[in-house]
Amino acid sequence: MNVIIFGATGMVGQGVLHECLRDDRVERVLVVGRTPVASVGVEDPKVREIVRADLTDLGDIEDELSGYDACFFCLGVSSVGMKEDAYRRITYDLTMAAARPLARLSPGMTFTYVSGVGTDSSERGRSMWARVKGKTENDLIALFPHSYMFRPGYIRPMPGVVSGTVWYRALYAVLSPLHPVLERLIPGQVTTSEELGRAMIEVAVSGADTRVLGPREFNEVAARR
């Protein structure tokens, strides 16, 4: 299987990339993003990179995006302090700028999108981020027959995975001793970066019973492997 990862230097993307490099079912990985993966300590012959500042128009690299079996879209940003227009440009517009050409080039590919617990599929709720994520999910499901929306809650970063956001790193440092407690108190909301990555590969290989997966569902999918 040949896969594309968008956002491989973020915390979620790092976890997905590490699992792709470990899994012998994944033969080639194309990483598309703004930052080289060497910045997070990754160098591997499986990986080819396209590093570019502007991800809103991929027209000039379309020839390099064809022939892939799956896309793991892990780009994202916190909505804290953002206006809806700015958040939509990053969350919806950027995602669709990648998804539309991929759907045209490889309509049978599996497209997996990282959303979040609380995403609003109705697109009409009070929460700005949840509406925008809901719109993104809905349009991806309509675009790709084989697409899966992953809605993680609390993600426990495993060794080798580091968030690029300072306050996330501080939060994880504080919560790290509490991980066993969190897993007991809210087992349906906790996953690890490894489980998230394994689950994405599994749905690309074998599919899933539902198009929208929360932590409990994708933890079960990850356990297949």
Q: What is the pLDDT of residue 180?
A: 61
CA distances for 111 relative to 26, 43, 134, angstroms: 15, 25, 16
Q: What is the pLDDT of residue 5?
A: 98
Q: What is the pLDDT of residue 179?
A: 54
pLDDT in tens, 141-164: 999 999 999 999 878 775 565 555
Three-class DSSP labels, the chain? CEEEEECCCCHHHHHHHHHHHHCCCCCEEEEEECCCHHHHCCCCCCEEEEECCCCCCCHHHHHHCCCCCEEEECCCCCCCCCCHHHHHHHHHHHHHHHHHHHHHHCCCCEEEEECCCCCCCCCCCCCHHHHHHHHHHHHHHHHCCCEEEECCCEEECCCCCCCCCHHHHHHHHHHHHHHHHHHHHCCCCEEEHHHHHHHHHHHHHHCCCCCEECHHHHHHHHCCC
Q: What is the pLDDT of residue 170?
A: 45
Tens place of pLDDT for every residue, the chain, 225 residues?
A: 999 999 999 889 999 999 999 999 999 999 999 999 998 889 999 999 999 999 999 999 999 999 999 999 999 888 888 999 999 999 999 999 999 999 999 999 999 999 999 999 999 999 999 999 999 999 999 999 999 999 998 787 755 655 555 444 444 444 555 556 556 655 666 788 899 999 999 999 999 999 999 998 998 999 887
User: Rounded CA gap, 156 and 59, in Å?
Assistant: 36
Q: What is the pLDDT of residue 129?
A: 96
Q: For the full predicted model, state whether its pTM sits above 0.85.
A: yes
Q: What is the pLDDT of residue 31?
A: 97
Residue type present at position 154: Y
Q: What is the pLDDT of residue 176?
A: 57
Residue type present at position 214: G
Q: What is the pLDDT of residue 166?
A: 45
User: Rounded CA gap, 65 and 101, in Å?
Assistant: 9
Q: What is the pLDDT of residue 43?
A: 92
Domains of the chain: 2-222 (3.40.50.720)
Question: Within 10 A of 179 (CB to CB), how many other CB atoms are there?
Answer: 14
pLDDT in tens, 59-95: 999 999 999 999 999 998 888 889 999 999 999 999 9
Q: What is the CA radius of gyration of the chain?
A: 16
User: Rounded CA gap, 34 and 31, in Å?
Assistant: 10
User: Rounded CA gap, 75 and 27, in Å?
Assistant: 22
Q: What is the pLDDT of residue 225?
A: 73
